[in-house]
Amino acid sequence: MLVCYHCRKGLLYGRSHTHHRGVAGGRWKKRAPKTRRIFESNLQRVDILVGGQVKRVVLCTRCLKRVKKDIKDGKKPFVQLARLRTKSETRSTKLETNPKLKKNKTKTVSKI
């Protein structure tokens, strides 16, 4: 079972309700059903620096968002990310992997 490296958030158990109002008089067959379900947290694999070495851990998106905000604001985050991708880096990797997004560079030949 995966849990967040920082806040230990993992699976949450709860109940799912339908929005059926039921029937007056308390008939149980017509009552809105409540079923058990599992809520999974949004966990992301990231590389962090621990003692000068790169370690792959799982962080929830709330903790990851906090780390990125602390870096942006110039504060010391609770974990040091090994590699933070910027918007320009993500755009360049999309261009490299998708040939449709590349600009067509054609040579123009002038006739003399």
DSSP class of residue 51?
Answer: T
| CA 2 – CA 28 distance, rounded (Å) | 38
What is the separation, in whole angstroms, between the first and last Cα of the chain?
71
With 80 as the cut, is the pLDDT of residue 29 above it?
no
pLDDT in tens, 45-80: 999 999 989 999 999 999 999 999 999 999 999 999
Beta pairing, strands 12-17 & 34-39 = antiparallel
More confident residue, 83 or 45: 45
Task: Give CA–CA dist 3/18, Å, rounded.
Answer: 29
* CB 40 within 8 Å of CB 30: no
